[in-house]
Chain A
Amino acid sequence: MSVLAEVSGNVTAIGYGLAAIGPGIGVGIIFGQGVQAIARQPEAYGLIRQNMLLGFVLTEALALLGLVAPFIFQAL
């Protein structure tokens, strides 16, 4: 069988690309829904902001874990 297409280079880049999909969608949902919640109920701003930030931290942590995952598996 002949080679149709080939990708050479560092595979960890693909890994990080895949790892960034989930958190990307997550951060989008968090801020999108958060802005919508604030628009619907401006008086609950403080509470919504708090939870938005917490959700954002936890999601962003996953994205950054994806960034260092290649190094971790290299070290193991």
Chain B
Amino acid sequence: MSALTVLADDQFKAPSPDELFTFTPIIPGVDWFTKPVLLALLSSVVVIGFCWAAFANPKVVPRGVQNVAEYGYMFVRDQVARPFLGKDADRWMGLLLTLFFLVFLWNIMGVIPILQFPVASHIAFPAVLAISIYVLKVYLGVKHQGAVGYFKNMMFPPGLPKPIYILLSPIEFLSNMIIAPFTHAVRLFANMFAGHMLLAFFSMVGFWFLFEKLTPLGATVGVIGVVMTIIFTAFEIFIQFLQAFLFAMLASMYIGGALHAEH
């Protein structure tokens, strides 16, 4: 992975995942307190503060922060919650709105100057959210369909010939209980990881060929690098929004699937 070497006069080294994603502790001696943890804490505080400012004293005619927050609320309710939860949508809005805002903020940290690190590109952060949703899904499924009924609905879809169940039930079980939460977390993680690598690579190209080793031939490559950085930053903002939306949407899909049996 690490050694893409372009042998110009001096060697250009592409940034490796190791140097991009490992951080030294901010306070020496406290090993767990690194930049991603700080950013995650910061985003939690920002989300709490934002919702507090918007919804603590709601006005009938929304102004300022409340206007922005209500726009986000409407988006989450109409695009994420209602299609999958139907009439239960309003009960789950608290969870889904928090999830959407938090993941979106985690992701958008990747393009905010100075911060510039998408928190979700460390697998631990999306994994915790995905595992919580998974536990909630299994709990709700057992509560609403009964322990036997939940697993029966999941592993034995009606309308198949009997002997086929022996072959297909393991697939259903593995897909629902292990692969689904795994892909839920990995989809967010992989997108943020790859996006951060791309941005780092192109800005490194621009910096190296325009500032470190400026040659007439290398300058064109550097300009291409800068232009690509700008294009990919815009693209990344779109991807970051889309992944936050998808994460909340899949969570609402899993909750909806646990509340009502598939037919």
Physical contact A–B (CB less than 8 Å): yes
Residues of A bordering B, CB below 8 Å? 3-10, 13
Which A residues are in CB contact (< 8 Å) with B2? 9
Q: Write the chain A residue with the least CB distance to B6.
A: A5
Residue B56, interface by CB 8 Å: no
Q: Write the chain A residue with the least CB distance to B4.
A: A7
Residue B160, interface by CB 8 Å: no
B1-28 residues with Cβ-Cβ distance < 8 A to A are: 1-7
Instruction: Decide if the interface of chain B is mainly helix, strand, loop or mixed.
Output: strand
* B3 interface neighbour in A3, A4, A8, Cβ under 8 Å: A8
Residues of B bordering A, CB below 8 Å? 1-7
* CA A5 to CA B1, docked complex, whole Å: 15
* CA A7 to CA B7, docked complex, whole Å: 11
Instruction: Decide if the interface of chain A is mainly helix, strand, loop or mixed.
Output: loop
Of the A-B pairs whose beta carbons lie under 8 Å apart in the complex, a sample of 16, sorted by A's number, is A3-B7, A4-B7, A5-B5, A5-B6, A5-B7, A6-B3, A6-B5, A6-B7, A7-B3, A7-B4, A8-B3, A9-B1, A9-B2, A9-B3, A10-B1, A13-B1
A7-B3, A7-B4, A13-B1 given; name 5 further pairs at CB < 8 Å. A3-B7, A5-B5, A9-B1, A9-B2, A10-B1
Q: How far is the CB of B94 from chain A (nearest CB, A)?
A: 33
Which A residues are in CB contact (< 8 Å) with B3? 6-9
Which A residues are in CB contact (< 8 Å) with B7? 3-6
Q: Write the chain B residue with the least CB distance to A9.
A: B1
* CA A10 to CA B1, docked complex, whole Å: 7
Which B residues are in CB contact (< 8 Å) with A5? 5-7
Which B residues are in CB contact (< 8 Å) with A6? 3, 5, 7
Q: Write the chain B residue with the least CB distance to A10.
A: B1
* CA A10 to CA B2, docked complex, whole Å: 10
Which B residues are in CB contact (< 8 Å) with A7? 3-4
Which A residues are in CB contact (< 8 Å) with B4? 7
Q: How far is the CB of A72 from chain B (nearest CB, A)?
A: 19
* CA A9 to CA B14, docked complex, whole Å: 14
Q: How far is the CB of B246 from chain A (nearest CB, A)?
A: 15
Which B residues are in CB contact (< 8 Å) with A8? 3
* CA A3 to CA B5, docked complex, whole Å: 11
